[in-house]
Amino acid sequence: MHAETKPTDHKAAALAAFKDLQREPGVTKPDPILVVDNVVRRFGGLTAVDVKHVEIQRGSITALIGPNGAGKTTFFNQLTGFDTADAGEWTFNGSRMNGVAAHKVARSGMVRTFQLTKALSKLTVIENMRLGAQNQKGESFFRALLPSSWRAQEDEITARADELLARFKLDAKREDFAGSLSGGQRKLLEMARALMVRPELVMLDEPMAGVNPALTQSLLGHVKDLREQGMTVLFVEHDMDMVRDISDWVIVMAQGTVIAEGPPDTIMSDARVIDAYLGAHHDAPLSEEELEEQLQEAEAALEAEVEEEAGK
């Protein structure tokens, strides 16, 4: 069912699109679905996000990686309307999306999932799925009181939901409360529910977090499936194996900015990326002199400690 190792048309197309690109932050893509310019988000004195320019290629799987606190989730929140950016503009499919409310962003075809899974645990699995469908007649107050006006549409929605549940192997859990699912199954449900919206761009915030290894392969397969069905995927992830396995292009963030872009097989050898990851727990040295200075400081501190030890 899943597109396994065999490269498919969609994968080939995505790889071809990236083939001749420069490996520079903010590089222009041939057919971007999402174009972001100068997005800034500050929390008090801390600048959490400061992205100059980034483009997401249509029909590809793009990974957004970076050390903890790099601003990846905050960036996601800005783009999807869950948090208000201090400045910046971005377009999705050519239409402006900055300042647009979260529910309207979702309706326009840009649907996200959450780092901490938001399966609605007190609704059944099938009700979770039905909730995702758009333009439901029965969701308007007065029509809700006339079941005949929405019954037929509800049946269609249910049929589509059942199809997706079967694909995600959740059909056996159909009538269970979502709260009774395992962590991995919740991730699957959240992804399936997002597909009920019929998105063009699926944004997954750490789809692998808390998923047991048995489900990992299945989840990876589902993400690849999204591309096969013509959707664009942007995901945040820490698991480098997963990033290497499924992404066509990788964007690296550190301290709120995009520091590097490139294909997954070479990105981890990029000097800026190594700096960002290894320097994440210290003040990253900006220049050679600074690095030298930090080393000397560390040496001095060590010597002082040794002397103190000797003095006792």
Partner 1 sequence: MDWFNIMVTTVEAAVGVETVFYMLAAIGINLHFGYTGLLNFGQAAFLGVAAYGLAVTVVTIGLPFWVGIGIGLASVILLALLLGIPTLRLRADYLAIVTIAAAEIVRLIFRSVTFKDYFGGSDGRYGFSEGFFAMNPFSKGEYGIGPFTFNERVTWVLLIGWILVGLSCLVIYMLMKSPWGRVLKAIREDEEAVRALGKNVFSYKMQSLILGGLIGSFGGYIYALGYASVQPDAFSTELTFYAYTIVILGGAARVFGPVVGSMIFWVLLVFIGNLLNELIEAQYITWMSVNQIGAFRFMLVGLGLVLLLVFRPQGIFGDKREIALDAR
Residues lying near partner 1 in the complex (CB under 8 A) are found at: 80, 82, 101-104, 106-107, 111-114, 118-123, 127, 130-132, 134, 136-141, 144-145, 147, 150, 154, 177, 179, 193-194, 196-197
**Minimum CB–partner distance for residue 41 and partner 1 (Å):** 17
Contact by Cβ (8 Å): 180, 199? no
Specify the DSSP element, H or E, that contains 41. strand 32-43
Alpha-carbon distance of 261 to 60, in angstroms, equals 14
> Least distance from C-beta 74 to partner 1, angstroms?
15
Which one, of 279, 291, 290, lies nearest residue 255 by Cα? Answer: 279
Q: Which is nearer to partner 1, 82 or 245 (CB)?
A: 82
**Which one, 21 or 82, has the nearer CB to partner 1?**
82
Residue 194 or 260 having the CB closest to partner 1: 194
- Least CB distance to partner 1 at residue 24 (A): 32
Q: Which is nearer to partner 1, 14 or 105 (CB)?
A: 105
Q: Of 81, 125, 66, whose CA–CA distance to 268 is shortest?
A: 66
What are 167's two structure tokens?
């694909």
**Token pair 């899943």: residue:** 2
Shortest spacing between CB 244 and partner 1, in angstroms: 28
State phi, psi for 250 to the nearest 5 degrees.
Answer: -125, 135
Q: Amino acid letter at 275?
A: D
- Compute the distance between CA of residue 234 and CA of residue 263 in angstroms, rounded to an integer: 14
State the nearest-atom distance from the C-beta of 33 to partner 1, in Å. 18
Nearer to partner 1, 154 or 275 (CB): 154
Determine the residue type at 149: S
- Smallest separation, CB 132 to partner 1 (Å): 5
Q: Which two tokens stand for residue 53?
A: 């320019």
Vertex 226 angle, CA 206 and 134, to 5° = 90
- Output 15 or 120, the one with its CB closest to partner 1: 120
